[in-house]
Amino acid sequence: MRSDKIIDPRGLTRPSPSSGGWKKKYPLTFKVSSESELEYAVGLLRQSYEFALEKIGKRATAKVKRAEERPITHSEIVSMLCDVGNILGFFVRVEETTPDGAYRCDVTWRDSEAHAPLKVFEVETSHRIDHALSSLAHAHDVWRPERLYLIVSDERDLNRAIKLAEPYVKGAFYRILRKLKIHAYKEIKDLYDDVINHKDMIADLSMR
């Protein structure tokens, strides 16, 4: 069967009123007068069904491909971190300012509204690794969180960030070395997809 046209040697297909006068033939309405023509029409319907599935599949594949090719934005990563934190049962805040007003952290997670953050995230987009590390180091000093996270935009930035961060964390930011984790945007996206797929179970298991 050709992918762009229904095979109808008997010419039974007729455009339906909703077809807008398509030039190609699609088995939308039929005129049948015998059992053999009815059987033939059923075959046309089967072709139409397969044709529709093929077209829908191609559109869906193209849509997924476009979504995969589009760069993930800073705000999307922040939103994903918020969703994951909420599902895990944390109290989540966005762009939280440190008590002294010196820095504003992208995302924080805490186990109680009254407690200091347990986890602090900086989503780096401007390639200013030193600024992001300064923010995390200050968050460490004022809140003493369990973990600090630097999220960078892609795998190349991940390797670059690790190399760039190394002299900092061995020097001025040595105090955060053991608490700092560096991840790429893609890792966060993959984590988000997995968590969303099992959010009800994870939320239930996270209750305490």
Q: Total structural domains in the chain? A: 2
Q: Are strands 104-110 and 119-123 parallel, antiparallel or unpaired?
A: antiparallel
Residues 51 and 100 in one domain: no
Strand partners, 151: 123, 183
pLDDT of residue 184: 86
Question: Strand 91-97 to strand 147-152: parallel, antiparallel, or no bridges (unpaired)?
Answer: unpaired
pTM (predicted TM-score):
0.65
Query: Is residue 12 assigned to a domain?
Result: no
What is d(CA 153, CA 147) in angstroms, rounded to the nearest whole number? 20
Q: What is the pLDDT of residue 162?
A: 73
pLDDT of residue 93: 97
**pLDDT at 103 (0 to 100):** 95
Task: Look at residue 23 in the predicted model and tell me its pLDDT.
Answer: 45
Q: Which of 74, 118, 110 is nearest to 92 (CA)?
A: 110
Which pLDDT score, from 0 to 100, does residue 22 have?
A: 44
Mind listing the pLDDT tens digit of every residue in the chain (208 residues)? 344 566 767 666 665 555 554 445 444 566 677 777 778 878 877 877 777 777 777 666 666 666 566 788 899 999 999 999 999 999 999 999 999 999 999 999 999 999 999 999 999 876 677 888 899 999 999 999 999 999 987 666 667 667 766 776 677 677 888 899 988 888 999 999 999 999 999 999 988 7
Residue 1: predicted pLDDT = 39
Picking from 69, 90, 110, the residue at the C-terminal end of a domain is: 69
Let me know whether 30 and 130 are in one domain.
no
Residues 85 and 136 in one domain: yes
Q: Domain for residue 9, yes or no?
A: no
Nearest Cα neighbor of 105 from 141, 72, 71, 70 is 141
- pLDDT score recorded for residue 30: 64
Q: How many other C-beta atoms can be found within 10 angstroms of the C-beta atom of residue 195?
A: 17
Q: Are residues 46 and 114 in the same domain?
A: no
Q: Are residues 92 and 146 in the same domain?
A: yes
Per-residue pLDDT at 50: 79
Do residues 37 and 98 both lie within one domain? no
CB 146 within 8 A of CB 180: no
Assigned domain for 3 exists: no
Q: How high is the pLDDT of residue 95?
A: 96
Domain around 48: 17-69
Q: How far apart are CA 144 and CA 206, in angstroms?
A: 23
Q: Tell me which amino acid residue 53 is.
A: L
Q: In terms of domains, do 117 and 38 share one? A: no
Is the torsion defined by CA of 63, 65, 71, 73 positive or negative?
positive
Please say whether the beta carbons of 140 and 176 come within 8 A. yes
Single-letter amino acid, residue 89: G
- CB neighbours of residue 25 within 10 Å: 17
Instruction: Tell me the two tokens of residue 202.
Output: 């994870």
- Asked whether residue 6 is domain-assigned, the answer is no
Residue 126 covered by a domain: yes
